[in-house]
Structure 1
């Protein structure tokens, strides 16, 4: 298939610029995977769609305040978007400036905090911070939430809470696992009360999730790297679910990529590392049976993954339905469940 096969028309006003007042107030489009049937629901209906032996798999990554603003010694403005933390004071980052800084250039963030450009790494830069506190603490003090490029506003205090899942635990993402944003504390408590089994994986979502596919031939696309971890406890829970003929339902495309990256031998194994798994139609899923996801950008790798799971025609029909019925799109938008 070609990149252009995954284009669709989206009115700009359907791109959600802010979250709803309540996390669980979103709409939910229910797509039946094998026959393409569509039903309009509310997210509050999600738990009622589950079966007794199902297992929910959440991504517990935590978004870091990865956007920083500073100045070069010449006075020019610099915007830093951290892509990955390599050590306590070293990162790989995107830099936006009128002219790209050279190695050894200094970027001043505050009166007593600056960073040095060590080297260029393809389109990114390796930076070393010089600060009186650990990097994560520094980011909490002066960093901004890295809202996606299609949200056309500066971040505010509300984003510090709402662009983060209520179960976020392991710091390292620079974009939210957005399907998880619909779950509030009351929903998580309800999951416990109902005895619905669940476990957690980790995939630190990178800003590459928003990068466009630049080649029309999908076989030529190089997927960005993201760190993932699947624990022995999660593998055991999934194997118990499979033994009971239950469904493994991934909460978000990031949970899908973590699970399928740990299943490349055909059988799920515990492990961790970087993944560049690019899932397109024709891919054979080894672990995941169901998925909750948001609506994704045209021609994006995420839309391609969802199409691989539910069928290209089914997904494109569902997206046309969502546009026609004025669903809210992207990170702060509504959800779709595929079962």
Structure 2
């Protein structure tokens, strides 16, 4: 069956409200860890992760950093309007947008848009680097989102710096609470570097510097990729079948060195930390397939669309051939880094080309993230989630996690 025909009602379960972790544990690596392999489940904690991984494994981390994407403006009347920055406006690359000085356009959600009657919203800021006035202006509306032009009167500041001073770290809506001071540390991975996400790659929240050192001491290698997580990651599937669901797209940034590390690692285990890392490395495979089909493709033509993994005419290329083709293309284009969008949808019917396992949290019912888990381990996803519910595992972003080995059959 083509994944477009999947019914989302087949990928749901009852998640009691009390099982959603509203806050993280005091110690990151004491979260529970469910280990699934070939139908067998055992339970441990993240602190003991090195005991459950082979010494020749490669862990792939997403080093994106969550930005303070929620900006609250207060009108003279006292009413408040919230602007939630989703991604740069069309045609603007993310890193470029974050480093903009003076003005930049973003696609945003606006809370209280009906109260926005004047041309500009204004937010004066007093910072350690001086005063600055941030303005917001509505430019146009499309598909429920607004294109907002931000401008500021002190071009010493980049937009990334303004977000830091003016914005609030956005927590997932299902936590149903306001952002607190501790979240600015705990809702970031310890290895977060590249600013651009509006949600954390939560599988990585369990790692500590000590745990990373223990993994290294065992000989387990690691690599970094970047996928900037968009708000669409929380978008529920509302259609009956997947063919009517529009998969959100997200920015990826991957150095040639990271692709080379993946290439040299195969066929030994590659284990992405989180669904975002998995979507990134699997997208690299399909980009390589596109190069094999069209060696003269542009970077835009290499971007992975929602159904590419099921509809491209070349489905059986080896991971090594695809990654090598992508590296060769980058060399011809004189590129040291891939920067583009991916919209890949991983659902039952998908065969993992690069990943041998995944470290991931427990996901919402009827979500594309749960579809991804089902694609990797088949119908045993029900067994895993029943076990987690029966054994007091904590769910969603601040919850516990799992090590799931891909079922090859």
Please state which band the TM-score falls in when normalised by the shorter chain. over 0.9
Correspondent of 1:114 among 111, 115, 135: 135
- How far residue 73 of structure 1 moved from its aligned partner, in angstroms, is 6.7
Answer with 68-77 or 299-308: which moved more.
Answer: 68-77
* Match of residue 305 from structure 1: 372
Say if 2:83 and 2:110, in contact at 8 Å, map to a contact too: yes
> 1:210 and 1:291, CA in 2 relative to 1: closer, same or farther beyond 3 A?
same
Q: Secondary structure at the match of 2:61?
A: strand
RMSD: 1.7
Matched, 1:11 2:16: yes
Say if 2:21 and 2:399, in contact at 8 Å, map to a contact too: yes
Matched, 1:249 2:271: yes
- How far residue 188 of structure 1 moved from its aligned partner, in angstroms, is 1.6
Say if 2:249 and 2:341, in contact at 8 Å, map to a contact too: yes
Which segments of 5 or more consecutive residues in structure 2 lack a partner in the other structure? 1-5, 126-132, 290-316, 328-337
What count of residue pairs does the alignment treat as equivalent?
333
Matched, 1:149 2:164: no
Matched, 1:277 2:292: no
Which segments of 5 or more consecutive residues in structure 1 lack a partner in the other structure? none
Matched, 1:126 2:158: no
CA distance in 1, matches of 2:273, 2:209: 16
CA distance in 2, matches of 1:213, 1:74: 38
* Match of residue 92 from structure 1: 107
* Match of residue 296 from structure 1: 363
Say if 2:252 and 2:280, in contact at 8 Å, map to a contact too: yes
Correspondent of 1:335 among 372, 377, 401: 401
Higher helix share: 2
- How far residue 71 of structure 1 moved from its aligned partner, in angstroms, is 3.3
Answer with 295-304 or 76-85: which moved more.
Answer: 76-85
Q: Secondary structure at the match of 2:174?
A: coil
CA distance in 2, matches of 1:126, 1:74: 24
Larger radius of gyration: 2
> 1:142 and 1:92, CA in 2 relative to 1: closer, same or farther beyond 3 A?
same
Instruction: State the TM-score, normalizing by the size of structure 2.
Output: 0.78
- How far residue 101 of structure 1 moved from its aligned partner, in angstroms, is 4.4
Correspondent of 1:231 among 255, 268, 292: 255
Q: Secondary structure at the match of 1:216?
A: coil
Correspondent of 1:42 among 40, 45, 49: 45
